[in-house]
Structure 1
Amino acid sequence: MKSLVSSYKHSHLGSLLPAYDGRESLYSWKERKFIVVIKFASHADMHHLRSFLEGKHAEVPQEALNALDIVMRQSPTSRYIPVKQSLYSRELGEQTIGGGLAAHRGFYQSLRPTQMGLSLNIV
């Protein structure tokens, strides 16, 4: 890796040293302009979710459930560190493992359909 960084430091890395995880990821800061295009991907039909909850349909409308799950996670992600459906924080507890590593306490959050409606599952 040192050889690659030495070879491409000025041409591709803007004379900045990258951070390397020792496996497959290399991170570097370099000022660039990006053009971002946002387009409509899909529509989560909440009518199907209502029909499911009323017992009119047997199949779980997963797209609507996923959309609500993301909405329920939006507020906690501003306070906790999100990793998939889990949220972690130093405030909840931290344990030093060694070698510069630390374990943080957290919880898993998901929205689940039940026979009595939707349930917020927090473990």
Structure 2
Amino acid sequence: MSLRSGIFTYILTILLLLSLQPSELLIFPFTTGLLGLGLGWTLRKLNKRLHVVLTNALLLCIGICIPLYALGFPVFGPTVSSSFNPITLLLILAFTLLYSWIWTALSLYILRKIKPILQAVPV
């Protein structure tokens, strides 16, 4: 609902992962966490759904490529090699576009449903 609570949740989730599931600690900040922060920010700042989807797909694609190519971490397990391949990069981009579109549609649906509830609660 706000940038402050989004960043707080992002950091808290990273700390929880550190204690509960350290193997996921390298993946979350670059992928799902980055998508969540980006989605929250773009839904507030950008007016067109296409811009939201494209921006978040690009963020997620970069977030997947950093651990995969720059750090050599097998984000997709042994299925995808950490050596650069343009076809793999195109597949990652296609996946991130679809994934971002799904989460954007789901987020907008949920926000439409909870907006009357949030407006009815006194601050």
TM-score, normalised to structure 2, is 0.28
Higher relative contact order (CA 8 A, sep 6+): 2
Which is greater in Rg? 1
Structure with more of its chain in strand, by fraction = 1
